[in-house]
């Protein structure tokens, strides 16, 4: 029976991994199994993971943990306190299995444990329900068919409760219970309907955020936060089949997925992070089904993971600098016929684990685990050796245990050595006030916004934004889509005011003036020109052909009633056109200047007060161009250096307290670089620091990441935007997951942030 199951599992893993790897690689750009059409680096990583798993198997001969059968099945014990105020209560909130809570075990504490520490026992039977009892004699039972996602003691404002997250297999709802630890009284659970659950996990971060991940029956990963007593959908994306379980470490923002076809995946739970997963373990001979982490509230900053397979009677343990496979031995002396048959086959010590749970002893020095046995349906516990527990808890990489590869060591450094964190004192956060409706097209679609200020009614101003996969859109100041023109793959857009519509010899007083929008159109390498009427309605006037091979970014300015457009392509080439509009609204463009930057540019902006154009070279920095003559050449004025990170794409100018500031998107760290422009010398930029746009969970508007284009105005647009408006493109529109959109920030918030940066800059200079 067991041999047949093993053969079936291995066959299923090998064949299905080969079939799915291409799709997984396309979606996530990560490693797949051997035999697929992957890069040399990917194949090397898979081979490394395979060789590592073989190595840890070989090393496991020195460690074999005896298992103790838990008579009541899966049982967890949490500790809580009845006293209202403790200075270090978290040290007493240890999650242990039911076998490790004796008075003798609690007698030798190395950590401080208070006299009023009590235990609450949670026993889960998937087919009957959940039993709760505590050391004060209270009991409670929740009837039903449940899958446990998480159970932990949580404290906030000196109050403690048990947070219980389960999946109700009868109703297909995720349920969150808040249970009084002392009385076991239960509030009405909060629920979230799902499309089933293939795997579910949850944890509470040290900041008190309850994070929940559910992989549903459609192969979609749904990430939630339980915020203010309700489910807040953070993001969802296709993860594919084969995910059997998951585990979250909230404080390191790490999600582990047990994939029976591939192995163990690791993802970043930061919803603004790049959607990618890393295969950290692969062995074609085992199908990983269970994964666990040590509770985030138990050991802050420690990232300990474990996984099991029914094809191996053991457990893999991993930290960023240590991987270890430990054998598990069933030493229970049972007398039923199944056990006698196992002994007859000389396999009495083997189990087939599909589930694993990690916990920390009450004194905080030993790691324990709970595993099941798929063959017998029994549940067992074991305690790791002291040396191994210490190595895992203290990130030791001694000679007795296998250290990770150089690549893995580099990954560990990536968690801690973040250049942006070194400049945290130069970063100010603001919150968005409004977000626009999402664009129609999926993927990287929204790109560049422009603000059109309505001179007749400021509150009726418009945000014009590109959907670079097919449309030019406009939105009102509440973010609602009011117009969408299917004009092609428009990439960047800008607006101009009071543009002349007349014969060139006409008197200025007789010349009609209109507002226009111009967009770089990659469908035909042209500049598409639109008239904007007093309502904000756009009408296309026509196209201006360019000689660019792959038109990309653009910006414009108006001088003497004539619109002048700078357009660039991906090679670095710029062209400058003057736009003429005839009385019948036909348009023409005259090429007046050409020059090139060394590499791909995109964003640009013109300061007409100083006759200076600022041009962004995405991977290098910012250039300045004197626009008073068509023969002038750009000068490089600001290199990309920490804390600014490539790409620089969007550029805009904002005035505060008689000073001008250049805002540039620092795409690599989801920030915006603020440069002070010297009034007397506009070619000198002084970096003030960074601004980030953080999420506003109360309004369910997510933070902003990977901004392409942006625009800003000082104009009074009424309402919340009386001190101006800042608009940015959001590369990842989540909370919930939708197609890309644009975020609106009140000018008052931006002014306050820049003033704080300027004040901090002055203070630093005063101490030099």
Query: pLDDT tens digit string along 575-624?
Result: 999 999 999 999 999 999 999 999 999 999 999 999 999 999 999 999 99
CB 32 within 8 A of CB 39: no
What is the DSSP secondary-structure string of 351-415? Answer: -----EEEEE-TTSS-EEEEEE-TTT--EEEEE--HHHHHHHHTT---TTSBPPPHHHHHHHHHH
Beta strand 621-626 pairing with 635-639: antiparallel
Helix (H, G, I), strand (E, B) or coil at 694: coil
Paired sense of beta strands 305-309 and 290-293, if any: antiparallel
To which H or E segment does residue 318 belong? strand 312-319
pTM of this prediction exceeds 0.85: no
- DSSP-derived letter for residue 735 is T
Residues of the chain short of pLDDT 70, as ranges, are 1-62, 82-116, 296-301, 332-348, 362, 395-425, 503-510, 767-768
Residue 362 has a pLDDT of: 67
**CA–CA separation, 56 and 61 (whole Å):** 9
Show the tokens assigned to 657. 């307290």
* Closest C-alpha to 707, from 623, 644, 656: 644
Sequence-distant (≥ 6) Cβ neighbours of residue 506 within 8 angstroms: none
Angstrom distance (rounded) from CA 338 to CA 558:
87
The DSSP-derived string for 253-294 is: TEEEEEETTTEEEEEE--TTS-S-EEEEE--TT----EEEE-
Half-sphere exposure of 494 (CA within 13 A, CB side): 23
Pairing verdict, β 139-143 and 601-607: unpaired
Between the CA of residue 49 and those of 34, 391, 402, 467, what are the distances in Å? 11, 21, 13, 42
Return the exposure string of 605-617: e unless at least 16 CB atoms fall within 10 Å of the residue's CB, then b.
Answer: bbbeebbbbbbbb
Give residue 510's pLDDT.
66
Closest CA to 369 of 293, 255, 280: 293
Structure confidence at residue 587 (pLDDT)? 95
Dihedral (Cα; 386, 391, 392, 398), 10-degree rounding? -140
What is the pLDDT, as a whole number, of residue 356? 94
CB 455 within 8 A of CB 731: no
Peptide bond just before 647 cis, omega within 30 deg: yes
């Amino acid at each position: 029976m067991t041999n047949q199951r093993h053969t079936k599992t291995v066959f299923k893993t090998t064949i299905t991994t080969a079939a799915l790897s291409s799709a997984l690689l396309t979606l996530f750009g990560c490693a797949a199994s051997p035999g697929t059409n992957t890069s040399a680096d990917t194949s090397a990583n898979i081979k490394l993971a395979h060789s590592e798993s073989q190595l840890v198997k070989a090393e496991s001969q020195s460690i074999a943990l005896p298992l103790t059968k838990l008579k009541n099945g899966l049982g967890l014990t949490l500790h809580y306190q009845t006293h209202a105020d403790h200075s270090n209560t978290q040290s007493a909130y240890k999650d242990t299995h039911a076998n490790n809570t004796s008075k003798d075990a609690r007698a030798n504490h190395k950590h401080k444990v208070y006299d009023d520490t009590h235990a609450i026992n949670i026993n889960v039977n998937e087919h009957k329900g959940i039993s709760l009892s505590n050391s004060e004699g209270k009991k409670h039972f929740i009837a039903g068919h449940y899958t446990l996602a998480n159970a932990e003691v949580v404290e906030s404002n000196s109050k403690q409760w048990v947070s219980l997250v389960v999946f109700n297999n009868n109703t297909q709802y995720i349920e969150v219970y808040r249970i009084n630890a002392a009385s076991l009284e239960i509030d009405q659970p909060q629920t979230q309907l799902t499309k089933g659950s293939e795997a579910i996990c949850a944890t509470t971060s040290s900041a008190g955020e309850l994070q929940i991940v559910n992989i549903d029956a459609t192969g979609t990963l749904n990430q939630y936060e339980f915020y203010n007593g309700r489910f807040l959908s953070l993001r969802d994306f296709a993860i594919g089949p084969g995910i059997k379980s998951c585990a979250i470490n909230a404080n390191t923002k790490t999600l582990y997925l047990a994939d029976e076809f591939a192995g163990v995946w690791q993802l970043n739970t930061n919803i603004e992070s790049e959607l990618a997963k890393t295969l950290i373990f692969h062995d074609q001979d085992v199908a990983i089904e269970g994964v666990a982490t040590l509770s985030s509230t138990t050991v802050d900053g420690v990232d300990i993971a474990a996984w099991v397979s029914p094809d191996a009677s053991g457990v893999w343990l991993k930290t960023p600098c240590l991987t270890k496979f430990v054998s598990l031995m069933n030493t229970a002396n049972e007398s039923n016929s199944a056990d006698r048959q196992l002994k007859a086959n000389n396999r009495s010590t083997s189990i087939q684990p599909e589930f694993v749970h990690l916990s920390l002893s009450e004194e905080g020095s030993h790691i324990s685990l709970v595993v099941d046995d798929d063959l017998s349906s029994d549940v067992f516990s074991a305690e790791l050796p002291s040396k191994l527990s210490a190595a895992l808890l203290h990130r030791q990489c001694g000679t007795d245990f296998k250290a990770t590869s150089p690549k893995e060591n580099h990954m560990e450094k990536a968690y801690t050595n973040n250049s942006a964190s070194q400049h945290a004192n130069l970063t100010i956060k603001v919150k968005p006030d409004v977000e626009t409706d999402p664009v129609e097209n999926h993927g990287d679609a929204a790109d560049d916004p422009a603000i059109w200020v309505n001179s007749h009614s400021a509150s009726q101003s418009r945000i014009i934004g590109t959907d670079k996969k097919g449309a030019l859109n406009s939105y009102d100041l509440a973010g609602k889509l009011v117009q969408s023109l299917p004009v092609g793959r428009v990439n960047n857009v800008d607006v101009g005011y009071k543009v002349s519509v007349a014969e060139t010899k006409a008197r200025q007083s007789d010349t009609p003036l209109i507002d226009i929008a111009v967009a770089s159109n990659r469908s035909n390498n042209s500049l598409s020109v639109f008239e904007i009427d007093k309502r904000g309605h756009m009408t296309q006037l026509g196209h201006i052909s360019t000689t660019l091979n792959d038109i990309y970014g653009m910006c414009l300015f108006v001088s003497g009633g004539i619109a002048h457009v700078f357009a660039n392509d991906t090679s670095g080439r710029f062209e400058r056109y003057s736009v003429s509009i005839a009385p019948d609204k036909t348009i023409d463009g005259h090429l007046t200047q050409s020059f090139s930057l060394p590499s791909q540019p995109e964003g640009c902006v013109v300061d007409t007060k100083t006759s200076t154009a600022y041009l962004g070279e995405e991977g290098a920095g910012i250039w300045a161009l004197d626009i008073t003559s068509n023969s002038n050449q750009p000068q490089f004025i600001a290199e990309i250096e920490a804390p600014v990170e490539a790409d620089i794409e969007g550029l805009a100018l904002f005035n505060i307290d008689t000073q001008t500031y250049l805002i540039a998107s620092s795409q690599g760290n989801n920030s915006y670089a603020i440069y002070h422009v010297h009034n007397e010398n506009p070619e000198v930029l002084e970096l003030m620091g960074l601004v980030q746009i953080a999420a506003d969970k109360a309004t369910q508007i997510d933070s902003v990441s990977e901004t392409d284009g942006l625009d800003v105005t000082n104009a009074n647009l009424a309402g919340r935007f009386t001190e101006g408006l800042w608009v940015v493109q959001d590369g990842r529109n989540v909370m919930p997951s939708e197609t890309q959109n644009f975020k609106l920030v009140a000018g008052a918030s931006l002014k306050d942030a820049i003033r704080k940066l300027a004040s901090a800059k002055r203070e630093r200079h005063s101490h030099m």
